[in-house]
């Protein structure tokens, strides 16, 4: 596969990967924790904190999306964002061990956070190397 074709495939995988978490972040910002389908009475501080965290998550996802164009040159940003995602995933895994199995959506998120995102970083590094090799 040519470097250009591999780059486009990576860009497509990243775009598709962002769809589920982007949907969750927007739902969290607009609906607070109610979108998770739990008690109808949500304490004010919980709603405030949930929307704040959802806003941070949305910002992070927009930064991930900004890596898609020119992905071969966005390694530093992608690695920083991936570090944040993996840290969050590690604590989601801790919650699984301490509190129990979360819903399917959260388990999918855990897979994205601890498996797919690190693989995307490794793939981006490969694409960057291939582009650097063709530039010399």
Residues 21, 97, 49, 32: is their CA dihedral positive or negative?
positive
Q: What angle do CA 100, 103, 109 make, to 5 degrees?
A: 100
**For the chain, what percent of residues have pLDDT higher than 70?**
99
Number of DSSP helices (H) and strands (E) in the chain, helices first: 5, 0
d(CA 123, CA 119): 6
pLDDT in tens, 87-131: 999 999 999 999 999 999 899 999 999 999 999 999 999 999 999
* pTM reported for the whole predicted model: 0.89
The residue ranking higher by pLDDT, 135 or 17, is 17
What pLDDT does residue 37 have?
A: 80
Mean pLDDT (the chain) is: 94
DSSP letters spanning 23-58: HHHHHHHHHGGGGG---S---HHHHHHHHHHHHHHH
Report the pLDDT value the prediction gives residue 124, as an integer from 0 to 100. 98
């Amino acid at each position: 596969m040519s470097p250009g074709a591999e780059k486009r495939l990576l860009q497509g995988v990243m775009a598709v990967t962002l769809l589920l978490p982007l949907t969750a972040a927007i739902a969290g910002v607009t609906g607070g924790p109610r979108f998770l389908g739990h008690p109808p009475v949500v304490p004010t501080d919980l709603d405030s904190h949930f929307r704040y965290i959802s806003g941070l998550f949305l910002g992070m996802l927009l930064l991930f999306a900004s890596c898609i164009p020119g992905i071969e040159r966005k390694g530093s940003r992608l690695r920083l964002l991936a570090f944040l995602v993996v840290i969050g995933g590690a604590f989601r895994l801790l919650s699984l061990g301490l509190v129990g199995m979360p819903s399917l959506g959260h388990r999918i998120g855990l897979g994205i956070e601890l498996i797919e995102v690190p693989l995307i970083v490794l793939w981006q590094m490969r694409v960057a190397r291939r582009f650097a090799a063709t530039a010399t």
